[in-house]
């Protein structure tokens, strides 16, 4: 089975895993997995890894994300989004555009988020959303996340549309909830589109209806956000067997930096995987080549 990446435009109404299953069926492939869950009601960029490329999922999952969100003021729901039950409501008409803008902007930077109960996170092996549906709530420790930028597109009370760029692990539902709590009347996430994961943008994403092999991205191309390192022989052959390559046997596309990850190729261009430069040697961190 070919190793590849898909930049899929997931439709709303299905889970991320259902999207993976449909992609596998369309392509007739076996092993596959996605790189970061999108809620069922959310749409947009969902990266899917096929074959041995599933080993690369963590690198893609760590990339920054960009979303377009619509926040509804004046209503709090138990799921923090529009799929839940309204648990509190208040009049938000007295809020000025400046207040809303300033409060949203105050969340830019490193913040602490308490993960929602309605999430795929697990407690003792059980997804939190299953516990939540049974009426069980357990303590969740706040987690640090980074909000790189928030750009407000429109404020048409009670709806606020904005773009947000953030780190892995950020819950936009929780961001909307927390903004609502800071403003007073409460809020929840009405709709969400993931517009980008790193350089993978929605404009170049493929829908399930159009998906075929021409939309498969080679792993080395998908990892183009990493610098390249070419390994001379015989170090390249030894590298396949877990033996580190001395720095002098490596050709770097950028200035070598200890602790930096590189796309690894043989000198004649065969893609090997991802490596890490440490102590004057390149070690394979993720081997893709057979």
Find out whether 272 and 265 touch, Cβ atoms under 8 Å. yes
Do 190 and 79 fall into the same domain? yes
| Distance, CA of 154 to CA of 57 (rounded, Å) | 35
Do 172 and 118 fall into the same domain? yes
pLDDT digit string (tens) for 96-124?
Answer: 999 999 999 999 999 999 988 777 777 67
Do 185 and 270 fall into the same domain? no
CB-facing half-sphere around the CA of 152: CA atoms within 13 A: 19
The CATH number given to whatever domain includes residue 191 is 3.30.2350.10
Do 83 and 168 fall into the same domain? yes
**Catalytic site residue 78?**
no
Domain that holds residue 268: 226-287
Instruction: Supply the pTM of this predicted model.
Output: 0.93
Do 76 and 180 fall into the same domain? yes
Task: Tell me what the pLDDT averaged over the chain comes to.
Answer: 94
Q: How many residues does the chain have?
A: 290
Do 145 and 206 fall into the same domain? no
Do 170 and 263 fall into the same domain? no
pLDDT digit string (tens) for 61-78?
Answer: 999 999 999 999 999 999
Do 140 and 209 fall into the same domain? no
Find out whether 152 and 159 touch, Cβ atoms under 8 Å. no
* Pure H helices in the chain: 16-27, 57-61, 97-105, 128-133, 172-183, 219-222, 235-240
Residue in 9, 39, 81, 178 annotated catalytic: 39
| Distance, CA of 141 to CA of 121 (rounded, Å) | 12
Burial of 172 (0-12, 13-18, 19+ CB in 10 A): buried
The residue assigned the tokens 């899917």 is 48
Sequential DSSP letters for 26-88: HHT-S-EEESS---TT-EEEEEEEEGGGGGGHHHHHTS-EEEEEEEEETEEETTSBTTS-EEE
Q: Pick left, alpha or beta for residue 144 (phi over 0 → left; psi -120 to 50 → alpha; otherwise beta).
A: beta
Structural domain count, the chain = 3
Low-confidence ranges of the chain (pLDDT < 50): none
Do 87 and 134 fall into the same domain? yes
pLDDT digit string (tens) for 261-287?
Answer: 999 999 999 999 999 999 999 999 999
Strands 75-77 and 65-73: unpaired
Do 75 and 103 fall into the same domain? yes
Do 69 and 192 fall into the same domain? yes
| Tokens representing residue 131 in the block | 């516990």
pLDDT of residue 134: 75
pLDDT of residue 136: 76
Find out whether 51 and 2 touch, Cβ atoms under 8 Å. yes
pLDDT of residue 1: 57
Do 130 and 190 fall into the same domain? yes
| Distance, CA of 199 to CA of 65 (rounded, Å) | 9
pLDDT of residue 119: 74
Q: Give backbone dihedrals phi and psi of 130, rounded to 5 degrees, phi first.
A: -70, -40
């Amino acid at each position: 089975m070919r190793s590849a990446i898909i930049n899929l435009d997931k439709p709303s109404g299905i889970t991320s895993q259902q999207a993976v299953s449909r992609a596998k069926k369309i392509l007739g492939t076996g092993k596959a997995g996605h790189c970061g869950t999108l809620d069922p009601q959310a749409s947009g960029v969902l990266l899917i890894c096929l074959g041995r490329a599933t080993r690369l999922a963590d690198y893609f999952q760590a990339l920054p994300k960009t979303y377009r969100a619509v926040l509804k003021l004046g209503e709090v729901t138990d799921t923090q989004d529009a799929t839940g039950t309204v648990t509190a409501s208040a009049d938000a008409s007295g809020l000025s555009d400046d207040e809303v803008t300033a409060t949203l902007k105050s969340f830019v930077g490193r913040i602490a988020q308490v993960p929602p109960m309605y999430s795929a996170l697990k407690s003792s092996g059980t997804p939190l959303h299953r516990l939540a549906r049974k009426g069980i709530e357990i303590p969740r420790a706040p987690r640090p996340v980074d909000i790189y930028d928030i750009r407000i597109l429109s404020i048409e009370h009670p709806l606020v549309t904005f773009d947000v760029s953030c780190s892995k692990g950020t819950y936009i539902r929780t961001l909307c909830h927390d903004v609502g709590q800071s403003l007073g009347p409460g809020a929840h996430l009405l709709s969400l589109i993931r517009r980008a994961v790193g350089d993978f943008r929605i404009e170049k994403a493929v829908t399930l209806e159009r998906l075929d092999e021409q939309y498969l991205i080679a792993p080395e191309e998908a990892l183009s956000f990493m610098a390249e390192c070419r390994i001379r022989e015989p170090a390249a052959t030894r590298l396949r067997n877990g033996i580190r390559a001395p720095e002098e046997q490596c050709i770097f596309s950028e200035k070598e930096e200890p602790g930096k990850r590189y796309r690894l190729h043989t000198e004649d261009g065969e893609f090997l995987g991802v490596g890490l430069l440490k102590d004057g040697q390149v070690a394979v961190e993720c081997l893709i080549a057979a």
